[in-house]
Structure 1
Amino acid sequence: MSVRLWAILLLLLPLLAFAQEPVPDPFKPQPVDLAKPAPVLEEVVARLVKAKAFEANFLLTRYPKDGSRPQKIRGRLVFDNNLGLLWQVQEPARENLWLSVSGLYRLTSQGPELIGPDPGILPLLQDLASARLDKLSQSASLTFGESKEEWELTAKSSNGPAYELFSSVKVRGNRAVIFWIQIERKEGEILSLRLYNLQRFPESMDKARFFFIQRRVLDSLLSH
């Protein structure tokens, strides 16, 4: 897998979350009715649109398609509707990645290094983070189901550049709190994302708060 593709896959879904492993439970999903969404879905949307930025610690588990041992990646992510997504990997190796309207960058001690252009991922992230169901439905089929206190929203790929990378995305939560995200790649690999210590922000961040990393990198980014 190319560095660029793997980096983009890591950055796909920075959604608000409280981490715990999902428990098997039938959700009986139904197609999302944009004109009259389910009350719980309306509650989720209302909560998501209030935040312009958020940050959290994460645990990403990668399940290879060949059934080999899962790989775990830990770190911190920050998402801002204006500045993009910052993905700070801490284990197994330290790496800082930044996805913005100008492209995907690796942030090193010497400053940002361009990996490649954004193939349409950031607009998708912005739609997901703001729960813009009308826009999401233009490039994916959406289903929503409830079971007891939990719910599950599924987006199956339809069209658009972002959906060339995966076949489906499942988001599971408890009322208005999302606690688990699963991404299924088209060739069979599965990514499971859990987040901890979530902080929401009603306004966009300034660059100094967003790029809370090495001083030299921060100085380089603030000069742009």
Structure 2
Amino acid sequence: MGLLASSVSYFMLGLWWPVAVVVGLFAWLAFGLLDVKMDSTFTLLGGLLLVFCVSLSAMVFRASDQLSGLQYIDTQSEDGIEFRYPVPLLGNARYGEAVYKANGCAACHTQQVTHESVVLDVKAMAGEKNHAAVQEAISRFHKVTGRDESSGAAHSFPVGEWQIVEDGLNAADASKARNFLAAAGASVDVQVRFRGEDLTQHDLLNPRGRDWGKRRSVAQDYLFAEPPMLG
């Protein structure tokens, strides 16, 4: 019984090995030497204490350790500009971070402050053998969806280069475009683009953006602060 309890604590629950050994010794003493019955008060209280300790360790302590290990990453934008993700706090944002922590806002904002919508951009690349078929597929897609023929540039579609077929599509139209292009033998790339006021500002793609950095949730940025918030 003690070996089983230690094995479950270490391999399945991921507890620190000294804690797993203590759990095993406790189970061995209780059920082996002391002959504790499963229906006794001591067993029930011990089980409740064990469940509480395991829950506290697995759901709070280990989660805090994992979040504390998150690091900033150096990446590049679509224009080739290098930046750090998430964008470091600047100016009065550090004061806002203190207010954010003090009032426990993460618990609600993690669920509520997110991107407003999602749009899909469809890119395709055709070879010399299937170039005509891909052009025909683009024209058929525009006819089916009722879009402007010139917006996809079907007639000027290049050979051997990635070209945007259509941008700002919803999921249904993006699926139609991918099916048409894949049937014609083209290589297809569907990119997801998040829209919202807190995302990167762009004159055409996201004119309302406040250029706070690319993120799915404002609250997620504060996970990189020390100590992290588990809200």
Which structure has the larger Rg over C-alpha atoms?
2
Query: More helix per residue: 1 or 2?
Result: 2
Smaller-chain TM-score bracket:
under 0.3
What TM-score, normalized to structure 1?
0.20
Greater RCO, CA 8 A, separation 6+: 1
What TM-score, normalized to structure 2?
0.19
Query: More strand per residue: 1 or 2?
Result: 1
